[in-house]
C-alpha cells in the first residue's frame, strides 16, 4: 500500500473506533435499518456504515463500509479530523478544545501509520507465542481511548527513538540529586546500591562516586537515579538549570545497560535481563490525555505498601491458592522543585518532572514455560 492509502486506512479505522466508542457511551445515537446504520449529526452531515453488536452491546463498525453523506454519499475522501468537526456539537467541544484534540489526533494517526506498516504481515498466531514485552511493540494502544498515541511534545525523531513500536533500546541519562530535597522510599529487602547495580556496572558506579567527590560533596548525601533521554534534553536540562549550576543536581551523562519502552512509554524494561527491575520515569509528553509524571506524595510509602500487599498474597489462603502475586515497587524517589512547590495551584506537570520508580518485572515472577500476557 502507498503512504496515501495507509493514511486513508488509519483515518477510516479511527472514525470506526470513534463511532463505536461514542455510541457505547451514548454520546452518538446512530439509527439502524436492516444492519445499515445512519448517524445523523447536527451539522447536517450524516455517516452511513455497516456494523454488528458485541455481547456487551458495543457497536463494531466496518470501516470499509463508511460513507460521509452531505448531499451525496462519499466513500473516497473520509477524514477523521473532518468527522470530529462534523460531530463537534454532539461532542460538546469548544473550538479551543477541538483544536487541541485535532493536534493530538494527528500525532496518533502518525503513529498509527507506522504501526499499520509494521503489523501488515503479522498474524495473531505469531503473536500468541511472543512474550509480553515483544507483544507490546506491536499493539495499537489503549483499546478504548480514541487518541491513544498523542505523545504531544515529540518530534518524528522521538517517535523513532523512544516509542515501543520502533523496537529501539536506549541508554538512560543518570544524575545524582541532593537527598534532602527528595521524597524517597525503599523496600528493606534491597539496598540502593543493589538497585543501581541492576542497571550499572560496579566500575560505572565508582566513577559516579568520584564525580560527586570531585565537587567536594558526600555521595551519601545524594540519590542516584536515571532520567529518560527525552526528559533530560527537553525538560530537566532547562527547567532545572539553576539546581544543576549549584550542584544540587549532578549530571553524569548516558551510562549503563540498554532499556526499551513498554506501551505506556515511560515504563522501561531491561533489554537483556528480563529479571531486572522495570524503571518508571517521568515523561512530560501529553499522552492518553495526561502528562506522565512521578507523583511525590506516594513515594515515601509506596514500597512499604507494596511489600504489605505481597505479604497478604503470600499468607491469605484464597489468594495463595490462586497463585496471586504482586509486582512490588522496590524504590521510589521524587525530587522537589522549590519554586513550583510554592505555587500551590500550578499545573501538576511542573511538579512531577524528576523522579523514578523501580518495580519488579512481570518476567521475574514467571515459572518455566510461562509467558506474561497483558490483561
Q: Domain check: are 72 and 216 in the same one? A: no
219 and 295, same domain (yes or no): yes
218 and 299 inside one domain: yes
Do 227 and 336 reside in the same domain of the chain?
Answer: yes
Task: Tell me which of 92, 117, 146 is where a domain ends.
Answer: 92
Give the CATH number for residue 79: 3.30.310.280
In this structure, the answer to whether residues 180 and 329 fall within a common structural domain is yes
Q: Which of 92, 108, 132 is the last residue of a domain?
A: 92
Same domain, 321 and 199: yes
The one-digit pLDDT tens for each residue of the chain (375 residues) are 899 999 999 999 999 999 999 999 999 999 998 889 999 999 999 999 999 999 988 999 999 999 999 888 888 889 999 999 999 999 999 999 999 999 999 999 999 999 999 998 899 889 888 888 888 889 888 888 999 999 999 999 999 999 999 999 999 999 999 999 999 999 999 999 999 999 999 999 999 999 999 999 999 999 999 999 999 999 999 999 999 999 999 999 999 999 999 999 999 999 999 999 999 999 999 998 889 899 898 999 999 999 999 999 999 999 999 999 999 999 999 999 889 999 999 999 999 999 999 999 999 999 888 888 877
Is residue 352 within 8 Å of 228, Cβ to Cβ? no
Are residues 279 and 259 in contact, defined by beta-carbon separation less than 8 angstroms?
yes
Query: Is 116 contained in some domain?
Result: no
pLDDT at position 328: 96
- Is residue 31 assigned to a domain? yes
Q: Write down the pTM of the prediction.
A: 0.93
Distance of CA 217 to the CA centre of its chain: 36
Residue 206 CA to residue 213 CA, distance in Å, equals 11
In a domain, 373, yes or no: no
Cα(299)–Cα(282) distance, integer angstroms: 13
Instruction: Tell whether 134 is covered by a domain.
Output: no
Dig out the grid coordinates for 367 from the structure: 515459572
Query: Does residue 144 fall inside a structural domain?
Result: no
Q: Are residues 346 and 232 in the same domain?
A: yes
> Is there a domain that residue 266 lies in?
yes
Q: What's the pLDDT at 120?
A: 87
The answer on 308 and 172 residing in a single domain is yes
For residue 69, being part of any structural domain is answered with yes
Using DSSP's 3-state secondary structure scheme, residue 130 falls into coil
Backbone phi, psi, residue 196, to 5°: -65, -35
Of 92, 111, 140, which residue sits at a domain end?
Answer: 92
Can you read off the three cell numbers belonging to residue 286? 501529553
Judge whether 158 and 231 are in contact, CB under 8 Å: no
pLDDT at 250: 98
Instruction: Give the chain's radius of gyration (CA, Å).
Output: 24
For residues 360 and 35, give the distance between their C-alpha atoms in angstroms, rounded to a whole number: 48
Backbone angles phi, psi at 73, to 5 degrees: -90, 120
Do both 167 and 247 map to the same domain?
Answer: yes
Helix %, strand %, coil % of the chain (to 5): 40, 25, 35
Give the domain extent around 64.
Answer: 3-92
Do both 265 and 176 map to the same domain?
yes
**Residue 46 β-bridge partners:** 40, 69
Handedness of CA 190, 283, 296, 145 (dihedral sign): negative
78 and 186 assigned to the same domain: no
pLDDT of residue 267: 96
CA distance 36 to 313: 50
The number of folded domains in the chain is 2
Contact by Cβ (8 Å): 303, 190: no
Cell digits of residue 85? 468537526
* Residue 106 maps to a domain: no
Q: Do residues 74 and 176 share a domain?
A: no
| Dihedral sign of CA atoms 245, 250, 252, 256 in order | negative
Could you give the 3-state DSSP secondary structure of residue 317? Answer: helix
Angle at 86 (CA atoms; ends 80, 88), nearest 5 degrees? 100
Amino acid at each position: 500500500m502507498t503512504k496515501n492509502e495507509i493514511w486513508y486506512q488509519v483515518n477510516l479505522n479511527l472514525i470506526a473506533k470513534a463511532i463505536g466508542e461514542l455510541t457505547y457511551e451514548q454520546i452518538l445515537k446512530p439509527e439502524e435499518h436492516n444492519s445499515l446504520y445512519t448517524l445523523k449529526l447536527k451539522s447536517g452531515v450524516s455517516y452511513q456504515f455497516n456494523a454488528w453488536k458485541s455481547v456487551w452491546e458495543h457497536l463494531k463498525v466496518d470501516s470499509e463500509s463508511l460513507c460521509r453523506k452531505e448531499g451525496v454519499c462519499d466513500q473516497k475522501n473520509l477524514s477523521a479530523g473532518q468527522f470530529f468537526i462534523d460531530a463537534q456539537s454532539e461532542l460538546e467541544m469548544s473550538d479551543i478544545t477541538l483544536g487541541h484534540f485535532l493536534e493530538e489526533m494527528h500525532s496518533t494517526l502518525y503513529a498509527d501509520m507506522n504501526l499499520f506498516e509494521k503489523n501488515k504481515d503479522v498474524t495473531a498466531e505469531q503473536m500468541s507465542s511472543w512474550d509480553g514485552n515483544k507483544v507490546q511493540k506491536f499493539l495499537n494502544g489503549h483499546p478504548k481511548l480514541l487518541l491513544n498515541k498523542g505523545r504531544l511534545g515529540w518530534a518524528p525523531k522521538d517517535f523513532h527513538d523512544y516509542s515501543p513500536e520502533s523496537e529501539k533500546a536506549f541508554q538512560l541519562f543518570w544524575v545524582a540529586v541532593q537527598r534532602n530535597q527528595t521524597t524517597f522510599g525503599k523496600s528493606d529487602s534491597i539496598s540502593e546500591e543493589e538497585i543501581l547495580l541492576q542497571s550499572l556496572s560496579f566500575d560505572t558506579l565508582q566513577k559516579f562516586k568520584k564525580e560527586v567527590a570531585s565537587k567536594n560533596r558526600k555521595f551519601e548525601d545524594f540519590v542516584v537515579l536515571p532520567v529518560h533521554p527525552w526528559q533530560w534534553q527537553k525538560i530537566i536540562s532547562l527547567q532545572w538549570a539553576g539546581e544543576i549550576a549549584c550542584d544540587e543536581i549532578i549530571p553524569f551523562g548516558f551510562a549503563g545497560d540498554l532499556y526499551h519502552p513498554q506501551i505506556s512509554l515511560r515504563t522501561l524494561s531491561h533489554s537483556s535481563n528480563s529479571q531486572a527491575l522495570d524503571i518508571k520515569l517521568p515523561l512530560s509528553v501529553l499522552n492518553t490525555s495526561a502528562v506522565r509524571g512521578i507523583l511525590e506524595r506516594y513515594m515515601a510509602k509506596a514500597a512499604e505498601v507494596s511489600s504489605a500487599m505481597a505479604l497478604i498474597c503470600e499468607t491469605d489462603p484464597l489468594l495463595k491458592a490462586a497463585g496471586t502475586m504482586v509486582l512490588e515497587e522496590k524504590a521510589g524517589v521524587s525530587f522537589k522543585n522549590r519554586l513550583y512547590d510554592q505555587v500551590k495551584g500550578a499545573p501538576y506537570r511542573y511538579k512531577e518532572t524528576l523522579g523514578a520508580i523501580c518495580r519488579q518485572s512481570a518476567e521475574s515472577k514467571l515459572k518455566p514455560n510461562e509467558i506474561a500476557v497483558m490483561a
